[in-house]
A = this chain, B = another copy of it.
Amino acid sequence: MASLEQLDGPRPATLSDVASSAGVSIPTASKALNGRPDVAERTRRRVLEAAERLSFAPNEVARNLAAGKTGTVGLLTSDLEGRFVLPILMGAEDALGAGQINVFLCDARGDAIREQHHLRALLSRRVDGIIVVGRQTDPRESLGQKLPVPVVYAYAPSDSLRDYSLTPDNEGAGRLAAEHLIATGRTRIAHISGDSTYQAAQDRVRGACAALLDAGLQPVGETLFSSWTEHWGRDATSLLLSRHPEVDAIICGSDQIARGAIDTLRDLGRRVPEDIAVIGFDNWEVLATNSRPELTSIDANLQNLGREAARAIFSALDTGGLDAGLHRLPTRLVIRGSTISRR
């Protein structure tokens, strides 16, 4: 392997340098390097040696111009800060990188104007596709169907069903949580959710309630909504226990809320999970594995969602098509000590 230092020089070697150094014409050098069949083995060797000697690396910019494709995709996020965006990014970057395609990262910072700017920039740079990553699962405005490249919406689906969107199955997630609690023998199950304006909150509640009904159970009390914070988890838990002391399990809308709930339960002398089981959403490792007991949670498989988005781009690049619509990806139950006591 040529050392990286060799890549240097006053001017990187061009195909022309290689060709003349090998004593052949430029197209011949090109064919030889690209493994095309119509080149004599002897010639190919000479060219390869010359390329090696000069540490030749093809200029992708020129290659892209000639090819009309760039082998790049744009990752257009609405907000990098949102903690659900990063795993999706990672998954996408990973999958795309493995396919030899590089990623332009653009953060619109929640600003529609900036998003338009970035979109134009990406198209000017002739990206082969775009992945739009939103911060919530609420539908977002479509970029329109007439863009010259395939677009995949991840996490936040497009508000148009003519676009291709990938989002976690939050209703299934709620169902998963409730079913786990039921399976472990809980019958008096309450729900502390987050911000009621989030569709994720509504979807999960709906799924959980459906599972309870299927099992012939009723939720204990009304679902409590407020914010996705530990503070709310504490307050809501106090409220819940004063109104419904008989509760034996709490579904919490996020791991943060669950941490608050566990905290307050301990203050109130209720044992987790013996007296009351607690389950969260998001499987945020830092929170889930550091609580006492560790937190059972629903993982949205976001990294996988990012990978699927990349895969969709790939297939669109191949076939040119993308079967439009909203695709809900399955979530996953991660069992820890807050719902099942250690033996």
Contacts and interface: CB of A to CB of B under 8 A. Distances in A.
A315 interface: no
A226 to B, nearest CB: 14
Interface in A101-154: 102-107, 109, 116, 118-126, 143-144, 146-148
Categorize the interface residue count of chain A. 35 or more
A276 interface: no
A42 to B, nearest CB: 28
Given A7-B123, A8-B147, A105 B107 contact: no
Contact of A12 (B3, B58, B61, B148): B148
Interface in A242-264: 256, 259-260
Nearest to A68: B61
A286 interface: yes
Nearest to A102: B104
A231 interface: yes
B286 A256 contact: yes
Interface stretch (A89-97, A160-168, A192-200, A326-334): A89-97
A65 interface: yes
A70 interface: yes
Nearest to A148: B8
A152 to B, nearest CB: 17
Given A70-B61, A148-B12, A102 B106 contact: yes
Contacts of A286: 256, 287
Given A107-B90, A286-B256, A125 B61 contact: yes
B125 A107 contact: no
A90 B75 CA distance: 14
A93 B107 contact: yes
A75 B109 CA distance: 18
A24 interface: no
Given A4-B143, A105-B105, A143-B4, A80 B93 contact: yes
A290 interface: yes
Contacts of A231: 290
Identify the 9 closest CB pairs spanning chains A and B, nearest first.
A230-B290, A8-B146, A105-B105, A5-B146, A60-B124, A60-B125, A80-B90, A61-B65, A103-B105
Interface of A: 3-5, 7-9, 12, 57-62, 64-65, 70, 72, 75, 80-81, 86, 89-90, 93-94, 97, 100, 102-107, 109, 116, 118-126, 143-144, 146-148, 229-231, 256, 259-260, 286-287, 290-291
Given A58-B124, A62-B65, A231-B290, 5 more contacts: A4-B144, A8-B147, A57-B123, A65-B65, A260-B290
9 contacts: A4-B143, A4-B144, A7-B123, A7-B146, A8-B147, A61-B65, A80-B90, A94-B109, A97-B107
